[in-house]
Structure 1
Amino acid sequence: LFLISIITLFSSVLSGCWNIKEVQDTYYVAALNQLYKDAQQRLFWGHVSTLILSNKLLKQDIKTSIDFINRHREIRYNILLYATKESIEDVFKTKSFFTLSGLSTILHEPREGYKQRSYIQPIQFFQFIRDSDPVGQTAYIPSIKNIH
């Protein structure tokens, strides 16, 4: 009985994670307007797997937007890149099939759909940077919209 008490005491004291950020202490980014001015805590970008550029943003200097994205080391270069003429909120309302996770939509898993029926290949952020850098080179961004 004494041995079990000691094991229970040590396991309860030694378990857990030191210096962990709780989910409620981290803000996950979904809109960029006035974000840094309003945020009162550190913003986390590491969860980003897809980047959707609005039509309004594409009409501006895209190099400035890319510089903003590159500034954050948490954002990986292998994220998927899309453009849309719709509101960003409508695009994110896309539901997954068969009650799967929201990560099972075309926004996050476009490759199987591309293999089956598409002629526009999904593009990752690093491919866009590579293709848009040389002078005279045309880079494309697949367009996406919500089908209700």
Structure 2
Amino acid sequence: MKKFLLITSCVFLLCLSGCWGMKEVQHQIYITALGLDFKKGQYYVYFQALSFSNVARQEGGSSSSEEPPVLVGTGKGDTLEEAFDYIQRSSPSPLYFGHISTLYFTPSMLKHHLNEFLDYAGRTEVIRYNTGVFSIKKDIKEAMSLNGFFGKSPAFSFTFNPGEVLENDSFIPTITYQNLIQRYRQPVGSMLIPSIKVEESQWQEGEKPKSIVKISGGYLLAHKKITGWLNINELEGINWLDKDTTRLYLVYNEKK
């Protein structure tokens, strides 16, 4: 009887699916951010990839004098599909898009080709709904190549995790990919897409200026169109209308 049960168990075990098709971490390139631009009649897609071994080491408290490498690839084509395929064909390892945390759009992409991207992303399920959305006028590759403070990877920067910074000073509302697709086609109302720029005049690392990504203002989107851009000073007061505001700083001027 025991022999029969053993044989039966072995037969059933053979039918179970295992992890034979699972790929090792080092055998894939994990894309963490996408930049999208349209210029000279072609779509440009910028792929940012990080080394997860470096991120895990930094989260564990390990320190290193060397900055972790940031990989930025460029794909281009007459369509978004061609731009994505362009970079995937040149990659020595398969690209994995499940870890994308940030989207960067240039003004030309926002103004004229946002609908094409939303259609493409909706059909391919490339983007997670909680992915942060930002706009940038120039230096998109430079912004995607910057490491955080103390040699940390971009995974510890503002655009990857704005919530921690805005919890202490809710100076501007941020949006996710879910907010974008929910409100893009609404016939009424508008939304703000925060814009960023590369700044190197405020911080210094050792004896060298430290380049950082900083909020510069925001684009207003209404009725599927960009209706204007306001700088950060012109947006003062918008945080009073944001339900996610947690803390504000007020300056009292005796002359007013």
Verify same fold: TM over 0.5: yes
Letter in 2 for 1:140: L
Give the number of the structure whose residues are more often strand, by fraction: 2
Corresponding residue for residue 88 of structure 2: 39
Secondary structure class of the residue paired with 2:167:
helix
Tell me which of 109, 133, 138 is aligned to 1:81: 133
Alignment of 1:1-148 (within 5 A): 17-23=19-25, 25-29=27-31, 30=47, 31-33=74-76, 34-37=83-86, 39-40=88-89, 43-147=95-199, 148=211
| Matched positions, count | 133
Moved over 6 A (4+): none
Report Cα offsets for 1:106-144 as digits up to 9, x if no partner. 111101211223421121110122222211331221111
Q: Work out the CA distance in 2 between the residues paired with 1:25 and 1:141.
A: 35
Q: 1:113 to 1:71 in 2, by over 3 A?
A: same
Preserved contact between residue 94 and residue 146 of structure 1 (Cα < 8 Å): no
Q: Give identity over the alignment, percent.
A: 29
Q: Work out the CA distance in 1 between the residues paired with 2:75 and 2:118.
A: 13
What's the offset of the Cα at 1:78? Answer: 0.8
Preserved contact between residue 54 and residue 85 of structure 1 (Cα < 8 Å): yes
Preserved contact between residue 139 and residue 198 of structure 2 (Cα < 8 Å): no
Q: Which has the larger radius of gyration?
A: 2
Q: Work out the CA distance in 1 between the residues paired with 2:151 and 2:88.
A: 33
- In structure 2, list runs of 5 or more residues that go unmatched: 1-17, 32-46, 48-73, 77-82, 200-210, 212-256
Q: Which has the higher contact order (CA 8 A, sep 6+)?
A: 1
Q: 1:53 to 1:66 in 2, by over 3 A?
A: same
- In structure 1, list runs of 5 or more residues that go unmatched: 1-15
Preserved contact between residue 54 and residue 87 of structure 1 (Cα < 8 Å): no
Q: Work out the CA distance in 1 between the residues paired with 2:191 and 2:104.
A: 15
Q: CA RMSD in A?
A: 2.5
Preserved contact between residue 77 and residue 124 of structure 1 (Cα < 8 Å): yes
Give the number of the structure whose residues are more often helix, by fraction: 1
Q: Work out the CA distance in 2 between the residues paired with 1:24 and 1:98.
A: 25
